[in-house]
Amino acid sequence: MATDPAELGCRLRDGDRSAAPAALNVIENRSDRDATTSLLHEVSPAVLGGEPEAHVVGITGPPGAGKSSLLSVLVSEWRERNKTVAVLAVDPSSKRSGGSLLGDRARIEHDPRDDGVLIRSTAAGGRLGGLAAATREAAEALAPAFDVVVVETVGVGQSETDVEDVCDTVAVVVQPASGDVLQFLKAGIMEVPDLLVVTKADLGDIASRSRRDLNQALKAVGSPDVPVLAVSSVPPPAGIDELADALEALRDRADLGERRVRARRGAALREFAAEHGERALRELGGRRAAERLLEEQDRGASVTDLLAVLEAAT
């Protein structure tokens, strides 16, 4: 079996989904960073001379909101629309329990014989409340080979920030009467997502009220145009068609290219600080100086390229 990282990268670039599991193994092996670099070198947008086709969608929200059930029906909907889908489920890990909670999480249901779907769980590994660099790299590697790449994370409030640096579109999923997300939004602490999804619409009144409350909160923080959709994942599913449409509309929005440039710069800055520490950032003259340095780079530069620029400057 060929597991040469560059070859895996080439196969993904050419849309060969069968290279995905081995490529993810390379990326998750954090002790051989060079292998990941050569893999990404082949798939990076700069090398391709264009943006990857996949729509990278972040699905985030508190535990119990129904993210896995929603993804089960949403993946089916995408498959009916002839879209291939990869789901990267980022698993929160507890410091006290010391490990990942993989065993406990709800499963995303899919047909295991369907090679148009890939589901992969990874532990967030120490980076509390954050997305590991590995998740960003995995999304980047899979982007040329799948139509939709989903990054699923657990979080409320500030943890969405990292998702933003990785995803084209961020959807926050809440269950009806889940007041804390509403409070974070109202307090202006939570970054406003691109889309809010209220699950368990089959609960009727309570779901409608949640939707109304979220709409009001969005208006109060100056984002009245963010869609709030209500869905039900229990058979017969409801609102899934509308959700897929809303996501497609977000994928086609005019400022997506601009957002991807900003996100790559944001990811480079965050990963540089995590790898080399705040001290290295101070050596560059502080966060703002580092941001200015990144803004001078080519808009098509990959995160790997941008990281190299920051590293060369220290």
Q: Count residues binding a second copy (CB under 8 A).
A: 47
Member of 34, 49, 205, 279 binding a second copy (CB under 8 A): 279
DSSP per-residue string spanning 197-212? EE--GGGTHHHHHHHH
Member of 1, 2, 49, 96 binding a second copy (CB under 8 A): 96
Member of 1, 2, 112, 126 binding a second copy (CB under 8 A): 126
Member of 28, 77, 191, 291 binding a second copy (CB under 8 A): 191
Member of 38, 79, 157, 209 binding a second copy (CB under 8 A): 157
Contact between 277 and a second copy per CB under 8 A: yes
Which SS3 state, helix, strand or coil, does residue 121 take?
Answer: strand
Only one of the segments 42-50, 78-86, 151-159, 225-233 lies at the binding site for a second copy (rule: CB under 8 A); that segment is 151-159
Contact between 21 and a second copy per CB under 8 A: no
Phi, psi of 204 (to 5 degrees): 75, -120
Beta-carbon contacts of residue 220 (< 8 Å; ≥ 6 apart):
186
CA distance 52 to 13: 9
Judge contact between 304 and 37, C-beta under 8 A.
Answer: yes
Only one of the segments 57-65, 76-84, 243-251, 255-263 lies at the binding site for a second copy (rule: CB under 8 A); that segment is 57-65
Member of 187, 234, 249, 289 binding a second copy (CB under 8 A): 187
For a second copy, give the closer residue by CB, 130 or 300: 130
Member of 46, 68, 77, 92 binding a second copy (CB under 8 A): 92
Contact between 189 and a second copy per CB under 8 A: yes
Only one of the segments 6-14, 107-115, 276-284, 302-310 lies at the binding site for a second copy (rule: CB under 8 A); that segment is 276-284
Beta-carbon contacts of residue 119 (< 8 Å; ≥ 6 apart):
86, 87, 89, 108, 110
- CB 243: neighbour CB atoms within 10 A? 22
At closest approach, how far in Å is the CB of 186 from a second copy? 7
Member of 212, 253, 287, 299 binding a second copy (CB under 8 A): 287
Member of 18, 94, 111, 292 binding a second copy (CB under 8 A): 94
Q: Give the residue from 133, 148, 123 showing the smallest Cα distance to 264.
A: 133
Contact between 113 and a second copy per CB under 8 A: no
DSSP state of 76: H
At closest approach, how far in Å is the CB of 134 from a second copy? 12
CA distance 141 to 20: 8
Member of 183, 208, 215, 216 binding a second copy (CB under 8 A): 183
Contact between 285 and a second copy per CB under 8 A: no
At closest approach, how far in Å is the CB of 50 from a second copy? 28
Contact between 156 and a second copy per CB under 8 A: yes
Which SS3 state, helix, strand or coil, does residue 254 take?
Answer: coil
Contact between 273 and a second copy per CB under 8 A: yes
CA distance 178 to 234: 19
Q: Give the residue from 256, 223, 225, 227 showing the smallest Cα distance to 242.
A: 227
CA distance 302 to 43: 10
One-letter amino acid for residue 155 of the chain: G
Burial of 262 (0-12, 13-18, 19+ CB in 10 A): middle
Q: Using omega within 30 degrees of 0 as the cis cutoff, is the peptide bond preceding 236 cis?
A: yes
Residues that bind a second copy (CB under 8 A): 62-65, 92, 94-97, 101, 104, 126, 128-130, 154-159, 161-162, 175, 177-181, 183-184, 186-192, 273-280, 287
